[in-house]
Amino acid sequence: KLKDVSPKWDVINVSFGETGGDRSTVEFSPVYGTDADFKSDISYLKSKGKKVVLSIGGQNGVVLLPDNAAKDRFINSIQSLIDKYGFDGIDIDLESGIYLNGNDTNFKNPTTPQIVNLISAIRTISDHYGPDFLLSMAPETA
């Protein structure tokens, strides 16, 4: 169970929130117990000073945000999961689908809609929860 994680860990990444068929709405269900059990475990960890974040993606998780409608679905689904379970933030672990278009060569100022929308969505989510919101990312390098 989540509450049985070693007390040596300060930040616990829960894996994984993954998209459904539309590739923009993130879904998550605990693999043990009920939602109430899982929420209780998160509350317990937080009472011990731990931070609990939801990791999005993983090897099988694909997020595609080609337009504003997809971006809005992503934002709404992430915020819903954070509010439902009490996560302290998100960890972005996207291992596919986050490439710049061929003519988009400035990664500091991208024009690829998928990337622009992902950055915008993450900023919106982060701004919504304020300065204590935790955000981490494992950037794809290959």
How far apart, in whole angstroms, are the C-alpha atoms of residue 138 and residue 33?
29
Ranking 51-60, 82-91, 92-101, 116-125 by mean pLDDT, the lowest is 92-101
Calculate the average pLDDT of the chain: 94
Which three-class secondary structure state does DSSP give residue 139? coil
H/E segment holding residue 41: helix 35-47
- Mean pLDDT, range 50-67, rounded to an integer: 92
| Span 87-99, pLDDT tens digits | 999 999 988 777 8
How far apart, in whole angstroms, are the C-alpha atoms of residue 20 and residue 96?
15
CA 46 to chain centre: 18
Q: What is the pLDDT of residue 97?
A: 72
The reported pTM is 0.93
Q: What is the pLDDT of residue 58?
A: 84
Give the residue numbers annotated as catalytic, written as ranges: 95
Q: What is the pLDDT of residue 87?
A: 99
- Distances, alpha carbon 58 to alpha carbons 16, 32, 54, 111, 135, in Å: 7, 19, 11, 25, 16
How far apart, in whole angstroms, are the C-alpha atoms of residue 55 and residue 75?
14
State yes or no: pLDDT of 141 exceeds 80: no
Q: What is the pLDDT of residue 142?
A: 58
